Structure 1
């Protein structure tokens, strides 16, 4: 595959960085234009991504395309190497779709909003800094999903902590500093362990000026013990990022204190770096260790599914509830990856995209609710279905997507994960199916408590969704419905990468469940 003549991926990284620089450099007389400038840059990135996607050959989606490569630090074997396969492209597209919606959602937030336990009030000049940080984060998201050099991946993995830290610590709720520091400490701990793994991988690899290129490291010969230790270093960092039980505890605190838009990008996109890394680095670089660790990882994934769902049911804070649902959903994604069937891996890849859509919509709608009520406590709501029917209806659709209702996109991905897992590990699939039942409980109970019953005091005059807020939510709901009824374009993009992952990890795909039973020898061949 020849490298691209036009650097599409670099352009998608540079444009939002330029946008952030423009926002920070705006003279005081022009700072009132910060919002439209930020949105304009994000829409340019979206348009460029659409054009780049039109050059992507879906028939070879298992290979990296839109490739760019140049020497970066040849003395240590680091290259500036970019490229995306079907999974990477899908996550890049998810990122560039969510960013303009997040910027539009933050458009009206202002500093004299009522105190709510979250000081995500970004009015005046502060909104300029917040939107600039969102654009910086967008550049990091594109870079990490496109990185084909392990060292470059690690650098971006750590660099993206900086904008998130300030987006939480400077613009979050009353306990924003605690949440930001906890997020940073967990992430830095995982990154430090991963750095040891990156160094060990290079020392055991082919070396040279391109010694960190993923394709050069695939098939590296190393002892069983060494491979397993390096795998664990990478996997721990990715498990924290995902997040998986028991290293998930930073997420509820961060989601509770962060602005809604920050939570959308953090949970909807950045946490996918963990599962993306498992799929695109752990499996191909450490195939034996991946097979060795799979039984334990599947158990941890099942615990995440059930534990996250049960904790979500018991939450009294709306943002923490959505965070715990994500712990459960990431359990499904990890289960699909380590079940080692092409169907389950394809479902897990599709789940990454669909989770970003459904959870992004839930966080945005929850943010609209909190802005109207001035509280995140579920008990402070009630009866809103009569007052804000459009908000109630859109929240219900997003919630039904989170519980994987047929006709919505998450159903397709969750079904593929369960069917693929059932073919390889029936007990795990049965346990995971319980998460579907629990999801119905935490979604429907929350809707009942917030939107049904008598209207609580102070809510009778609550305004419904404005035109801007409808514009924010409509694309997400539209994509859920479109991919729910016609998922073929996304599945075509993800099918070959799943088959490629199976080949690299060295596992034979299982036969359909109905053909896997033992054949009874009736003596007819005697």
Structure 2
């Protein structure tokens, strides 16, 4: 029941924090922090229990199958593999920092804020764990609505516009995914006589090329809007710019990764032929995103909007790598999901810290701050260097693996994408020049990072350096999932394994009454 406990813990913690705020805002914050910390400790313990080297070939580490609405084939089916483990570790790590970064920033409706924050994290946790498509859509919506409130209530000047835009884009694309899920449900039921939303059963569904292509587009649009991919990216800069610092941290670090996760977990394995047929177009969109996002980032004067466009550029590498259809590129994608969450999340934290002190995000009104805040400047330099792909930091490993893998699929697109690294250098160095170097035009007087802020940013520095120097543990953890995703074209073998697993889950549930267990 460990997997269900994670979700229930976060939801219960959110509700309790909301009520506790009526008594004490400090107690509400501490409860939220303790809740996410416990969830993080659970995931770390699982990782240690499985062995930090993660050298086993079995991709599934934990599994829970509880029939929910059997008459409709809906089950509370949660499972964790190496990819899920990595994403949950990132989720709870950034969740802790999101609570800390909002400690002083959020001063009104504190209980409702922490309720929404923990429910966003709970929804993301469900997305990374669920193996039932109906339940997947449920958690997809759970993480959407609280984020809408985080932006719309605690955001900046144009928060309502940004919140509405975020909601409309993600909700509309999510409805297309729901239609595809229902179509798969009925097609599978007609073929087998068993109507089920179970992921492993759906994998064995035989689809005609035309049907597979249309159903794939339902999933694909939902995921590339959340990623986001140009030209469906326009909600992201507005949402990031207007969101509170914790909202931007969760958006950049986690919500965008659910789109990448969906591509790896659902689009490629369920629709392998349809995915292969659109691979050149998808890789082209990735290359366009890399270049367009980088050029837009360089032209921005709003610090948060600049960092938002760097996300558009970095997410282009994910599209390029996923549809390169080889394991090296896919490993680069997994690394990019993690390293981008760390580095870009840290830049949003720095933007928030600066805004608290000088009450502006305009980089043209900044400058010469290194002498006043040397510790902050040093930390910012680390993450700016990570963003441009400096060797020794995690982003370099991610982008290098992605490009080497993409080279095997399309040399022209890879060459063009590599030019994006030059633009990344330009916008990254512009951040340092405009914010921390040059002259202090406005005469801002400010203090360096507080102990709480150091406690947020220093661990991020340690992680991004560790990922750059010792990436093998992440690569080992993701390897079984990546291999399964790449070899999903053998529908017969997948179908046989899915049926075996499904019987095993049901039998185990009968014997153990819903207890968690491992399977191969």
Return the TM-score normalized by structure 1: 0.90
**Preserved CA contact (<8 Å) 1:350 1:494:** no
Task: Note the C-alpha offset of 1:62.
Answer: 5.5
Give the whole-Å Cα distance in 2 for the aligned partners of 1:325 and 1:174. Answer: 22
**Preserved CA contact (<8 Å) 2:82 2:481:** yes
Within the candidate set 360, 366, 370, 2:345 is matched to: 360
Check if 1:474 corresponds to 2:458: yes
Task: Note the C-alpha offset of 1:132.
Answer: 2.0
Task: Note the C-alpha offset of 1:278.
Answer: 0.7
Give the whole-Å Cα distance in 2 for the aligned partners of 1:56 and 1:213. Answer: 26
**Preserved CA contact (<8 Å) 2:228 2:256:** yes
The residue aligned with 2:19 is 25
The structure, 1 or 2, with the larger RCO (C-alpha pairs under 8 Å, 6+ apart) is: 2
Q: Using a 3 Å threshold, how does the CA distance of structure 1 residues 204 and 476 change in structure 2: closer, same or farther?
A: same
Give the whole-Å Cα distance in 2 for the aligned partners of 1:443 and 1:61. Answer: 39
The residue aligned with 1:496 is 480
**Preserved CA contact (<8 Å) 2:186 2:195:** no
The residue aligned with 2:151 is 168
**Preserved CA contact (<8 Å) 1:227 1:289:** yes
1:326-378 deviation digits (Å, cap 9, x = unpaired): 01111101111100111001110111011101111111111101111101111
Check if 1:321 corresponds to 2:306: yes
The residue aligned with 1:446 is 431
The residue aligned with 2:118 is 135
Check if 1:190 corresponds to 2:186: no
Within the candidate set 277, 281, 284, 2:266 is matched to: 281
The residue aligned with 1:243 is 228
Give the whole-Å Cα distance in 1 for the aligned partners of 2:255 and 2:435. Answer: 28
Q: Using a 3 Å threshold, how does the CA distance of structure 1 residues 99 and 210 change in structure 2: closer, same or farther?
A: farther
Q: RMSD across aligned C-alpha pairs, in angstroms? A: 1.5
The residue aligned with 2:73 is 77
Task: Note the C-alpha offset of 1:215.
Answer: 1.1
**Preserved CA contact (<8 Å) 2:321 2:330:** yes
Return the TM-score normalized by structure 2: 0.91
Task: Note the C-alpha offset of 1:46.
Answer: 1.2
Partner of 1:290: helix, strand, or coil? helix
Partner of 2:85: helix, strand, or coil? helix
Q: Using a 3 Å threshold, how does the CA distance of structure 1 residues 505 and 298 change in structure 2: closer, same or farther?
A: farther
Q: Using a 3 Å threshold, how does the CA distance of structure 1 residues 29 and 284 change in structure 2: closer, same or farther?
A: closer
Give the whole-Å Cα distance in 2 for the aligned partners of 1:85 and 1:468. Answer: 33
How many residues align? The count is 487
Give the whole-Å Cα distance in 1 for the aligned partners of 2:71 and 2:306. Answer: 48
Within the candidate set 93, 100, 116, 1:97 is matched to: 93
Check if 1:155 corresponds to 2:138: yes
The residue aligned with 1:304 is 289
**Preserved CA contact (<8 Å) 2:123 2:143:** yes
Between 130-139 and 28-37, the greater mean CA deviation after superposition:
28-37
**Preserved CA contact (<8 Å) 1:349 1:494:** yes
Runs of 5+ in structure 1 lacking a partner? Answer: 1-6, 110-121, 508-526
1:224-252 deviation digits (Å, cap 9, x = unpaired): 11000000111011110100001000000
**Preserved CA contact (<8 Å) 1:78 1:209:** no
Within the candidate set 35, 39, 55, 1:45 is matched to: 39
Give the whole-Å Cα distance in 2 for the aligned partners of 1:259 and 1:96. Answer: 19
